[in-house]
Amino acid sequence: MCEKIEVNSLAEMHKLGARICTQLKRGDLLLLSGPLGAGKTGLTQGIGQALGIENITSPTFVISRIHPTKIPLVHVDAYRLQGDSAAIFDDLDLESFLPTSITVVEWGEGLADRLADDYLEIQIEFGANDGQRLVSLIGHGQRFAGFKL
């Protein structure tokens, strides 16, 4: 099952992230995909704001950031880990953080989806209008079967 949501601004993307966060708990894994500039980090910022975390930036060059809070947020950008660098993804040891945190992985297709059977896949694509995004929520596994906002 796939739910599609239209988003028309960064503020709306933040609100969508906050709405998604209301249904998240420790141990949840989210895989975000979409082209550069689609809003993956903006969505993660909304999730972080709902958890009380400010100033979330893309971890493109540091690969991973852990934001400590009541439920820690692990934010990974695997863009630079495609191809020959994929082995580095395993060195991040995300498995040890997964049970106690919410883990968001941008560009994680083929890498992060092997961390858990249950995860929420979020695909973001550009819409027809400038600033418009189409966000698809696809649940995998029993935990996210039928996930709806």
Q: What is the CATH number of the domain that holds 112?
A: 3.40.50.300
Per-residue pLDDT of the chain (149 residues), as tens digits, is 688 999 999 999 999 999 999 999 999 999 999 999 999 999 999 999 999 998 898 876 667 788 889 999 999 887 766 665 556 666 666 777 888 899 999 987 777 777 888 999 999 999 988 889 999 999 999 999 988 88
Q: Which of 88, 79, 84 has its CA nearest to residue 106? A: 79
Asked if residue 78 is part of any domain, the answer here is yes
Q: Which amino acid is at 129?
A: N
Q: How many domains does the chain have?
A: 1
Asked if residue 62 is part of any domain, the answer here is yes
pTM across the whole model? 0.90
Asked if residue 149 is part of any domain, the answer here is no
Asked if residue 43 is part of any domain, the answer here is yes
Q: Rounded distance, CA 76 to CA 9, Å?
A: 23
Asked if residue 86 is part of any domain, the answer here is yes
Provide the 10 A C-beta neighbour count for residue 79. Answer: 17
Query: What is the residue-wise DSSP string for 57-76?
Result: ---TTT-EEEE-SSS-EEEE
Contact 63, 76 (CB under 8 A): yes
pLDDT at 40: 95
pLDDT at 29: 95
Asked if residue 130 is part of any domain, the answer here is yes
Asked if residue 29 is part of any domain, the answer here is yes
Asked if residue 76 is part of any domain, the answer here is yes
Q: List the domain range (segments joined by +) for residue 138.
A: 2-144
pLDDT at 120: 96
